[in-house]
Each structure stands twice: as C-alpha cells, then as structure tokens.
Chains A and B, each alone.
Chain A
Amino acid sequence: MPINYQSKIIMDKPNVQFVPDTLFSVGPLNFSTGHLAMFVIVILISVVLVSIASRAKLKPSRAQLALEAVLVWFLEKVEKSFSNKKVARRIFPLIMTMFFVILVSNLFSILPFVDALTFGDGVPLLRAPTSDVSMTLALGIFSVVLSHVIAFIKSPLGHLSNYFTIMPVFKAKNGGEFGQALFDFFLHLYDIIGEMAKIVSISFRLFGNIFSGVAMAAVFGFLAPYIIPMPFNVIGIFSGCIQAVVFSLLALQFLSSPLASVEGNE
C-alpha cells in the first residue's frame, strides 16, 4: 500500500493571507478590509484622545495621567535627539501620531468585536492594518522621505554634499589625494542605498512582527484552538506594544540624523 505523504496539515492549510480581502474597487484602487480598519482606528483614537484632552484638569484623572506619562516619556526622547527645541516641538506631534496609530493597529485584533464582523463567506470585515505590507511600507517611505525633505529645506547644498562628495575631488593637489577623494565619492554613493535599506528594514520589521502574530493565531487556531494559543497571544500583545515604541523611536532617529549631519556641516 503506498504511503500517503499528503498529510492533513498540507491538504487543508490554515487561512493565512498576505494581501487583505478587497471590499470594493474604484478603478485600479482596491479598498481593502485593512483600509476600513484604518478608518475605524483613526475614529477610535480621535474620540478617545479628544475626550481625554478636553476633560484635562489640574487634578488629573487616571486616563489623563496615563496619557501624560506616555507623552512626557516621548517628549524627553524627542527633545534629546534634536538640538533645536523648536524643531523638536514641531516633530513631536508626528511621532506621537505614528505611535498611537501603530499601537492601536497592532493591538486591533484583540478588541472583542473585531473577529465577529464578517461579510461574504465568513471573511473578516476588519483586518489589523499593520499586518498589510503596504501600510508599513507607506509609513517607512513617509518617515525616511520626510527626514530628507526637512534636511534639504534646512540646507540644500549641505544635505546633498553628504551624498555627493564631489568637491574634494576638484580640490585634490596630488595623485594620492585625488585617488582618496574619488574613493570617498564612490563610498558616499553607497549611503543612498543605505537610505533605501532603512525603508525596507523599518517597514518589514513592523510588518513581520504583526503578520507573524496573525499567522501564528491562524496556525494555532487550526491545530489547537483552545488554551494553547493563549501564551502566543500574550507574546503578540507584548511585541505589538514594543514594535509601536520601536517604530516611532526609529522614525525619530531617521528624522533627526540627516538634520544633525547638515547642522554639523555648517
């Protein structure tokens, strides 16, 4: 009798999807379940934060205390990484927005009502947006491009000369210096690739963490639906919080370092 290699696990796989389901499309643009979840999250964050902020008092409530603790922790980090306090105050809301959006997106799947909402053949209506690579890639591209725009506005030539160090080539007095300058020029061109690698590393770090949580939940829900997935959910919540902090701190790092190098050139 031939052995059946196609075991049950291979035959019917757990439902792990890389691309979220499409709700409807307008021309070439697909409106996916991740987009819908993003809308819900933005409304949720706005309502909660505005309601806490509008009731802010000198004698704070518990929610206000918690929020202020988070804000102060981040404010310290932001003010440390920028030399100019005014710039730090302008960047701070952006960092906090990133943090709250990513935090709530990461923890979105543990909200009680999320799994119950379905459409079609039991396809979940809401999907954690950060488990879709387009969302994290967009955030990564945004933060890296913004950092260069800020540095470029601050000092256009100073910023470009960090990547195209052509001037020492012309200033070289002898052959040795010329060779060194030419070598430096090509070495600094590699920094451009480094900037692109930043986008990939920051966005795939977030995507990988959250997607692995989703996939882990799907696999364990398939193999052993009760009790056993619990510790993995705890790890998922923990890593969701950590990744939100890590993403916003790295975005802060990306935003401040080109500006610092431009200021150092002056």
Chain B
Amino acid sequence: MDVEAARLLAAGLCMGIGAIGPAVGEGIAASKALEAMGRNPEVAGNIFTNMIIAMAVTETTGIYSLVISFLILFAV
C-alpha cells in the first residue's frame, strides 16, 4: 500500500468512525426531546431550542474528525 492510498483510507476511516458517536448521541437527544414534548406540549418551543443547542454541542466530536480528515486530504 503506497502513501497516497493510506492517506485516502485514513481520511475515509476517520470520518466514518468519527460519525458513529455523534449520530447515536444526536439520536438520543432527539428521542428524549420528543418524549418530553409529547408529555408536555406547552413547553415544546423551549425544549426544541435547547435540543438544537445540545445537538450542536453533541456533534462536536464529529466535527473534529471532519477537520482531521480534511487535514489529511488537503493539508498534509
């Protein structure tokens, strides 16, 4: 395996493995928020705002791996 192939594989694996965590985390956040909205529809707007913010924080690790894979692809 030459260096170019290893680089492309590394970028793909980095993004693919790194996307698992945020996906599961955001799914949990969404499911819990929907449960809460179903139980208490009056505060649905408030819950939705907080859910979006929590999701943006959750997806940070995914963003890290995206940055790393961009680094591997374009900067190294």
Contacts and interface: CB of A to CB of B under 8 A. Distances in A.
Contacts of B73: 13, 16
Interface residues of B, number: 17
B53 A245 contact: yes
Contacts, number: 49
Interface residues of A, number: 22
Contacts of A215: 70, 74
A243 B70 CA distance: 20
B74 A13 contact: yes
Nearest to B7: A10
Given A201-B60, A204-B64, A211 B70 contact: yes
B67 to A, nearest CB: 4
Contacts of B5: 5
A208 B18 CA distance: 14
Contacts of B60: 201, 204-205, 208
A242 B53 contact: yes
A131 B28 CA distance: 29
Interface of A: 5, 10, 13, 16-18, 201, 204-205, 207-209, 211-212, 215, 239, 242-243, 245-246, 249-250
